[in-house]
Structure 1
Amino acid sequence: MEYVKLGRSGLDVSEICLGCMSFGVPERGNAPWSLNEEQSRPIIKRALELGINFFSTANMYSDGTSEEIVGQALKDFARRDEVVIATKVFVPMRQGPNAMGLSRKAIMTEIDKSLSRLGTDYIDLYQIHRWDPHTPVEETMEALHDLVKAGKIRYIGASSMLAWQFAKAQHVAVSNGWTRFVSMENRLNLLYREEEREMLPLCKDEGVGVTPYLPLAAGRLTREWNEQTLRSEKDHIAKALFEKTEEVDRKIAGRVAEVAANRGVSRAEIALAWLLQKEEVTAPIIGSTRISHLEDAVSALSVKLTAEEIVSLEELYVPHPLV
């Protein structure tokens, strides 16, 4: 495993990040395909054995139980200073006013709850899960800066927004001497490449690390197109993301299969190798419900695609609706 700086920060992270939405109590929250604590712990332990030090969760994953499972496992299997824990804030965790968004009140409430569930004194990377159009960005950025100064978080990151929104937030931070975002967690894979237009160039120019989620398109790039899994049946969010572009996406997935067969490697390794060879990308976020998924992801680090293979994988893409 190699380690790289997260953007222009001094933070060292593994080139693979373990996404933790797969871990949580299945009966709680929005991931009925998630693994319970007993099933999750071996995967987290294997990730550490493979050299992965970067773990990304969110307060809303499985109603907070993802943070609980991940926090306890990392406490049992690693020293706190050896791992980089990332979590997120935005999505409502209860009903009623001030229950969601990026107001000072919401952020200050949710940070303490995340710290408690994770069982740690600080979070390495605290990310805003979405853009909040109902809160002044100045209020959000100052609240995040105050948490850094209070020692509750070390770095801040963002996720899933338009490039102008991200640029505005960075400008507000710089103008006021507040903490800047060091990372962008956005959706990027062979089936959805709209981030190449504005967000990736912005991140490159600003020195922001890119940690793509759904790098395997929720498994669509790893198996036969019509093959069903528990997640593909139950993950209605992922279904909504891909259902409108199925015709062209199926062709691209077929091209991944061809390149993988010619190489004698898995489809997951090819799809991840494509991402890893993008200079803007720091660490794809891999969701794993099996140890073999994790090992395939690490194996992808040694797969170097040729220019011809990259053209073959990219040439079928057509513009997709922004999500």
Structure 2
Amino acid sequence: MEKRRLGQSDLMVSRICLGCMGFGDATDGPHSWTLNKEDSRAIIKQALEAGITFFDTALGYQNGSSERFVGRALRDFAKREEVVLATKFLPRSKEDIESGVSGRAHIERSLEQSLDNLGMDYIDLYIYHIWDYNTPIEEVMDTLNGAIEAGKVREIGIANCFAWQLAKANAYADKMGYKRFISVQSHYNLIMREDERELMTYCQEEGIATTPYSALAGGRLSRLPGVTTKRLEEDKFAQSKYDQTAEEDNKIIARVAELADKYQTSMTAVSLAWLLTRVDAPVVGATKPHHLEGPLEALDLKLSSEDLAYLEELYLPHALSGVMAQNTYKPRR
């Protein structure tokens, strides 16, 4: 599989990143549709055999059980230096703040917990999962730089951020001689393109890698409307992101199906082939063996400029959702 340098770092990653939010103890966390240890291992092994060497998990996925499942499988099935492993840390909780836990202490504690869960000595890409409005970015960057100097982290990335936040963080890193955020993991796909307004252009200008999550919109871009799955029925997070715009989005999804029929391939392949023309390595989840077929087909599917325009022309502006909607501008009173 083709590999690409991640931003301006030395990390070489497969064009497809296996998203591991679907792995973990379904009884211990917000998602009821995740895979158990053995089923997760089977998907990870299949991904490695297909040439996928980039894996993304998080401390917050099913209370760390995703990290434990992924770490164990990668230790069993791959040489450490042959894979690029990303995981993420969350902001301080309200309880942390009230009890006086500093931003530095929280990040250091999160990092140690992730390393323990993964059973590894270092993390290739440590991602700031959600911007912490209660912790100065200087404290975050100082702490992450310390983790890099200690050899526990190779590179750092950020997720769920606005362009101004990324610019502010990297300006401070430049001032202090620290490593910058080399990648952004944001909510971006064929039916959610709001990051094109500023973030994607900023990343292009600055040589920052783009590794979007929800690449298939929680499965909506891989099947026709009306076809249901356990995740579609139970994933409340995805429902909150897409249900309100389903009528507009379904028109685009119909065009994905039309092109899939034209090229005798899957809707997954068409959706990801479009995305691969714009980003470095989309994060794609899989909870069944056949879910990896479409992403692999996408690598060989070359859409024409007319195809790309056909897929794009019906897009209408969308409201921000999830954590990004919660963190929009609030005027000082």
Give me the TM-score of the superposition, normalised by structure 2. 0.93
Partner of 1:10: 10
Report the CA distance between 1:290 and its aligned residue. 1.1
Partner-residue secondary structure (3-state), 2:158: strand
Partner-residue secondary structure (3-state), 1:254: helix
The 8 Å contact of residues 91 and 131 in structure 2, kept in 1 or not, is answered as no
Partner-residue secondary structure (3-state), 2:173: helix
Report the CA distance between 1:91 and its aligned residue. 5.2
Q: Which amino acid aligns with 1:78?
A: A
Partner of 2:297: 299
Partner-residue secondary structure (3-state), 2:273: helix
For the residues of structure 2 that align with 1:42 and 1:53, how far apart are their CA atoms? 15
Deviation track 1:31-70 (CA, whole Å, cap 9, x = no partner) reads: 1100000111111001100111100000010110000000
| Distance change (3 Å), C-alpha of 1:137 and 1:277 | same
Deviation track 1:245-286 (CA, whole Å, cap 9, x = no partner) reads: 1110111111111111111100000000000012xx110101
1:223 aligns with 2:220: no
Q: Which amino acid aligns with 2:201?
A: P
Partner-residue secondary structure (3-state), 1:187: coil
Report the CA distance between 1:96 and its aligned residue. 2.6
Partner of 1:317: 315
The 8 Å contact of residues 16 and 54 in structure 1, kept in 2 or not, is answered as yes
Q: Which amino acid aligns with 1:67?
A: E
Partner-residue secondary structure (3-state), 1:184: strand
| Distance change (3 Å), C-alpha of 1:265 and 1:164 | same
Partner-residue secondary structure (3-state), 2:299: helix
* Equivalent runs, 1:1-323 vs 2, <5 Å: 1-90=1-90, 96-98=95-97, 103-278=103-278, 281-323=279-321
Which runs of no fewer than 5 residues in structure 1 stay unpaired?
Answer: none
Report the CA distance between 1:317 and its aligned residue. 0.3
The 8 Å contact of residues 57 and 86 in structure 1, kept in 2 or not, is answered as yes
Partner-residue secondary structure (3-state), 2:272: helix
Partner-residue secondary structure (3-state), 2:58: coil
For the residues of structure 1 that align with 2:30 and 2:283, how far apart are their CA atoms? 19
Partner-residue secondary structure (3-state), 1:218: helix
For the residues of structure 2 that align with 1:91 and 1:216, how far apart are their CA atoms? 26
For the residues of structure 2 that align with 1:163 and 1:95, how far apart are their CA atoms? 26
For the residues of structure 2 that align with 1:23 and 1:95, how far apart are their CA atoms? 27
Which runs of no fewer than 5 residues in structure 2 stay unpaired?
Answer: 322-333
For the residues of structure 2 that align with 1:322 and 1:173, how far apart are their CA atoms? 28
Report the CA distance between 1:188 and its aligned residue. 0.8
Report the CA distance between 1:10 and its aligned residue. 1.4
For the residues of structure 2 that align with 1:40 and 1:100, how far apart are their CA atoms? 37
Partner-residue secondary structure (3-state), 2:156: strand
Q: Which amino acid aligns with 1:267?
A: M
| Distance change (3 Å), C-alpha of 1:183 and 1:100 | farther
Report the CA distance between 1:197 and its aligned residue. 1.1
Partner-residue secondary structure (3-state), 1:28: coil
| Distance change (3 Å), C-alpha of 1:95 and 1:162 | closer
For the residues of structure 2 that align with 1:101 and 1:58, how far apart are their CA atoms? 21
Partner-residue secondary structure (3-state), 1:305: coil
Q: Which moved more, 1:170-179 or 1:146-155?
A: 170-179
| Distance change (3 Å), C-alpha of 1:173 and 1:187 | same
| Distance change (3 Å), C-alpha of 1:62 and 1:270 | same
Identity %: 47
For the residues of structure 1 that align with 2:91 and 2:47, how far apart are their CA atoms? 27
Deviation track 1:147-184 (CA, whole Å, cap 9, x = no partner) reads: 00011100000001111111111111111111201100
For the residues of structure 1 that align with 2:20 and 2:200, how far apart are their CA atoms? 24
Report the CA distance between 1:102 and its aligned residue. 8.5
